[in-house]
């Protein structure tokens, strides 16, 4: 359930689209946060700095920091930059630890810390990034903001444990899957939006509504990412189809396909999907049931729900348009 690919399509496909829509303020804040991330990654001894910098260079869209800045309205404070950096550091830490658990060799086409430095180095790098996230956010001077990120961190850990418990299971329900997505992915999106509200223009009174918006787009993001694991071509996603299935991760497309196809209901994922060719064959079987459209529709319902949450708070029209663009973009993206 890691975000390593996305399909072609219209709408938001990269941060450049948001920068064009968001104007110079957003571009300047992202530039400041990138410089701060580089500074933090480089500040803890040569070996750890090398691994942390490599994780930083593997990049991604910086979607979570972008959300912090968009939700914050017109604020350009240093505290806001620290919050955005903290969210991204926490996200980076989870990726490094995920790669240890998955024994992953590549992330976005680059060797993982696990592959280049081994398990101990990767674990230490992830731990460093976790600790730096909270040290940086403490500089923003808001105990409420630190609590929001701490809650997200706890949720991430619970979601990872749930994913491990569910590995190769044939009885995972759609409801349990969604709860896992909420813990492992959506809560950090929610935290990004809460931090933007708390430290920016909307204020604490808008934090619940904007946090709920973040939760819904996080769910949409993860559902769609799991659809891509089944359907996305390698040249666009950066990984072979079925990678999550091969790791034993039971996602919504497989859950829905098992309800529709008796043969898949009886499939033993651990013993019958043991190499890439078998994983790809399973992807084809899942696709043949027609459930990918159902999963995409589920993601789009969460996008619509995210937009509805924005009705609970008064926002300038330009800011709301940007948040709606992000909501649409999580299911129309390259990652």
Whether 6 maps to a domain, the answer reads no
Determine the pLDDT at residue 15. 59
C-alpha to C-alpha distance for 53 and 287, rounded to whole angstroms: 38
pLDDT over 50 at 135, yes or no: yes
pLDDT over 90 at 3, yes or no: no
The mean-pLDDT minimum among 2-16, 244-258, 288-302 falls in: 2-16
Q: What is the largest CA-CA distance in the chain?
A: 57
pLDDT over 60 at 49, yes or no: yes
Q: Which residues contact 83 (CB under 8 A, 6 or more apart)?
A: 68, 137, 140, 145, 195, 196, 199
What share of the chain has pLDDT > 70, as a percent?
90
Determine the pLDDT at residue 44. 66
C-alpha to C-alpha distance for 278 and 78, rounded to whole angstroms: 50
What share of the chain has pLDDT > 90, as a percent?
66
Determine the pLDDT at residue 59. 63
Distance, C-alpha 108 to centroid of its chain? 14
Whether 188 maps to a domain, the answer reads yes
Whether 79 maps to a domain, the answer reads yes
Whether 319 maps to a domain, the answer reads yes
**Over the stretch 262-299, which tens digit does the pLDDT of each residue have?**
999 989 999 999 999 999 999 999 999 999 999 999 99
45 confidence band (pLDDT: 50, 70, 90): low
Whether 334 maps to a domain, the answer reads no
3-state helix, strand, coil in the chain (%, to 5): 75, 0, 25
Nearest to 252 by CA among 159, 149, 173, 161: 173
Indicate the number of domains in the chain. Answer: 1
3-state secondary structure 272-293: HCCCHHHHHHHHHHHHHCCHHH
9 confidence band (pLDDT: 50, 70, 90): very low
Whether 3 maps to a domain, the answer reads no
Residue found by looking up tokens 């993860």 in the block: 222
140 confidence band (pLDDT: 50, 70, 90): confident
Whether 273 maps to a domain, the answer reads yes
The two structure tokens encoding residue 98: 């995920």
SS3 assignment, position 131: helix
**Over the stretch 142-171, which tens digit does the pLDDT of each residue have?**
999 999 999 999 999 999 999 999 999 999
Read out DSSP for 40-88? HHTSS-HHHHHHHHHHHHH----HHHHHHHHHTTT---HHHHHHHHHHH
C-alpha to C-alpha distance for 254 and 174, rounded to whole angstroms: 10
Note whether 6 and 331 are within 8 A (CB). no
List the domain range (segments joined by +) for residue 307.
15-328
C-alpha to C-alpha distance for 149 and 329, rounded to whole angstroms: 24
**Over the stretch 202-243, which tens digit does the pLDDT of each residue have?**
999 999 999 999 999 999 999 999 999 999 776 666 677 998
Determine the pLDDT at residue 10. 36
Residue found by looking up tokens 């990138």 in the block: 34
3-state secondary structure 77-120: CHHHHHHHHHHHHHHHHHHHHHHHHHCCCEECCEECHHHHHCHH
Mean per-residue pLDDT of the chain: 88
Distance, C-alpha 73 to centroid of its chain? 22
Q: In this structure, what CATH number is given to the domain that contains residue 56?
A: 1.10.600.10
The mean-pLDDT minimum among 4-18, 61-75, 136-150 falls in: 4-18
Whether 271 maps to a domain, the answer reads yes
């Amino acid at each position: 359930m890691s975000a390593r690919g996305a399909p072609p399509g219209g709408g938001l496909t990269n941060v450049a689209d948001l920068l064009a829509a968001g104007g110079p303020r957003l571009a300047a804040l992202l530039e400041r946060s990138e410089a701060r991330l580089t500074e933090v990654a480089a500040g803890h001894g040569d070996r750890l700095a090398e691994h942390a910098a490599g994780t930083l260079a593997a990049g991604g869209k910086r979607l979570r920091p972008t959300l912090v800045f968009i939700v914050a309205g017109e604020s350009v404070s240093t505290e806001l930059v620290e919050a955005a950096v903290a969210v991204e550091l926490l996200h980076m830490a989870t990726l490094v630890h995920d790669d240890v658990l998955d024994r992953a060799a590549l992330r976005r086409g680059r060797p993982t810390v696990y592959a280049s430095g081994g398990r101990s180095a990767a674990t230490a790098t992830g731990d460093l990034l976790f600790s730096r996230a909270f040290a940086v956010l403490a500089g923003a001077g808001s105990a409420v903001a630190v609590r929001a990120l701490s809650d997200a961190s706890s949720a991430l850990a619970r979601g990872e444990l749930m994913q491990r418990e569910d590995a190769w299971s044939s009885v995972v329900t759609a409801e349990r899957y969604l709860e896992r997505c909420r813990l492992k992915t959506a809560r950090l999106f929610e935290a990004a939006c809460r931090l933007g509200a708390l430290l920016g223009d909307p204020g604490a009174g808008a934090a619940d509504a904007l946090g709920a918006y973040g939760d819904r787009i996080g769910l949409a993001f993860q559902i769609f990412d799991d659809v891509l694991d089944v359907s996305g071509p390698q040249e666009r996603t950066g990984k072979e189809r079925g990678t999550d299935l091969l790791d034993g991760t039971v996602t919504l497309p497989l859950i829905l396909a098992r309800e529709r196809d008796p043969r898949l209901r009886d499939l033993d994922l651990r013993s019958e999907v043991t190499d890439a060719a078998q994983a790809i064959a399973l992807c084809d079987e899942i696709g043949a049931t027609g459930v990918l459209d159902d999963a995409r529709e589920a993601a789009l319902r969460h996008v619509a729900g995210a937009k509805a949450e924005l009705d609970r708070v008064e926002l300038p029209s330009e800011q709301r348009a940007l948040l709606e663009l992000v909501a649409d973009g999580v299911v129309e993206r390259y990652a």
